[in-house]
Amino acid sequence: MKIHEYQGKDLLKKFQVPVPAGDVAETSKEARTVAEELAEGPFVVKAQIHAGGRGKGGGIKVAATPEEVEDAAGRILGMTLITPQTGPEGRVVNKVLVEQAQEIDKELYLGIVVDRASGRPVLMMSSAGGMEIEEVAARTPELIIKETVNPTTGCMAYQARNLAFGVGLGAQLIRPAVSFIENLYRVFTALDCSLAEINPLVVTKQGEILALDAKINLDDNALYRHHDLAALEDPEEMDPLEHEARKHHLNYIRLSGNIGAMVNGAGLAMATMDLIKAAGAEPANFLDVGGGASAEMVANGFRIILADPNVKGVLINIFGGILRCDVLANGVVEAVKEVQVKVPIIVRLEGTNVELGRQILQNSGLKFTVAADMRDAAQKVAALVQ
């Protein structure tokens, strides 16, 4: 789960990771009040969307006075902000963070992720702050210092020192940098983050170390342990169909193709997407209705697939195990009663109660093509949409 920068900074503060003074605002008047309550200007007004690269798109503005903050917030709030990370459709800005502008001496990078190769958290620090870390890794990998952490011991002081010295911080900055790194590691583990990225981490002209940006991603599978964090979710930032799917406990991820796929089992869903691609088409979604899906869940899944206007054909690929083919068929029929199906449907059913399932579909009046096997199903649906 992604959260906003202002929410991330609130969490950082609780763990003694220093951030600039500031607060969130939803109107330009509120933004002005925040500025008035801060010390003196200048201030920075920052669009709060779940994407980076905001500066380049006009989502970050410096303002000298509270009046200018109000004006800048008025221009940013409600705008559709397009950045390299939002895609061409951009994101509507509903909130801004107003904070104290810093006089920046150095911009660094600090990130913590789980490294799949070692199965451990890895800390990465770089003197090339403000740039995308992927870009730094591609062009100047020698500028990235890494420390792999043993989760039993946690981040050791020597590892934090290696990072701080490695990015060339001066002697008087080592101590605050080490506690910054150690505290960020505590955030990462205590909140079950999948990513904690500070880009840039800055050294100010006054010699302070601050998190100027905060990208904190939380592990969805651990949210049951953090009810307070689950409340940070912003439905406005989610794809509406993914949001709907989540309400129905469906594993649905929207993609950019035009073939909707309803599959049971994540592995089968991945294989189905591969076959759709191999047949020369692109999947419109990943949907695993789950092993123990009810007819109602199937109906919801089918409805969500059809609600995507890009979908020009649907492939239903079910291997009836725990989810029996008749339950699937009843779910599809239930959904079809409510929505008009205007796109071709290809069905591949195998397994428990397959005959009954086919019969239910045949008697439903729904027009669909039966495929002999998975590959045939993918090829048929690809041919239909081309």
Q: Which residues bind Mg ion (CB under 5 A)?
A: 199, 213
Q: Pick one of 213, 237, 308, 326: the residue that binds ligand ADP (CB under 6 A).
A: 213
Quick one: how far is CA 30 from the chain centroid? 28
CA 8 – CA 237 distance, rounded (Å):
15
Tell me: does residue 99 bind ligand ADP (CB under 6 A).
Answer: yes
Tell me: does residue 237 bind ligand ADP (CB under 6 A).
Answer: no
Tell me: does residue 217 bind ligand ADP (CB under 6 A).
Answer: no
For the bound state, the minimum distance from the C-beta of residue 303 to Mg ion, rounded and expressed in Å, comes to 38
Whether 232 contacts 197, CB under 8 Å: no
For the bound state, the minimum distance from the C-beta of residue 199 to Mg ion, rounded and expressed in Å, comes to 4
60 binds, among Mg ion, ligand ADP, none (CB under 5 to 8 A by kind): ligand ADP
Cis peptide bond upstream of 200, omega within 30? yes
From residue 128 to residue 167, the character string flagging contacts with ligand ADP as x (rule: CB under 6 A) and all else as - is --x-------------------------------------
Q: How many residues does the chain have?
A: 386
Residues of span 188-207 touching ligand ADP by CB under 6 A: 199-200
Query: What stretches of 231-319 show up as alpha helix (H) in DSSP?
Result: 240-247, 266-278, 295-307
Q: Pick one of 18, 41, 53, 90: the residue that binds ligand ADP (CB under 6 A).
A: 53
Instruction: Please say which residue, 86 or 199, places its beta carbon nearer to Mg ion.
Output: 199
Instruction: Please say which residue, 211 or 328, places its beta carbon nearer to Mg ion.
Output: 211
Q: Which of 238, 32, 217 is nearest to 111 (CA)?
A: 217
Instruction: Please say which residue, 182 or 213, places its beta carbon nearer to Mg ion.
Output: 213
List all residues 6 or more positions away from 325 whose beta carbon is below 8 Å from its beta carbon. Answer: 318, 349, 350, 351, 352, 353, 354, 356, 357, 358
Tell me: does residue 102 bind ligand ADP (CB under 6 A).
Answer: yes
- Provide the β-strand partners of residue 347: 316, 370
Q: Three-state SS for 311?
A: coil
Residues that are catalytic: 109, 197
Q: Both tokens of residue 283?
A: 């999947």
Per CB under 6 A, which region of 73-81, 101-109, 252-260, 267-275 contacts ligand ADP? 101-109
Supply the DSSP symbol for 149: P
Show the CA angle centred on residue 207, arms to residues 133 and 69, nearest 5°. Answer: 75
Q: Contact positions toward ligand ADP, by CB under 6 A? A: 20, 44, 52-55, 60, 99, 101-102, 104, 107, 130, 199-200, 212-213
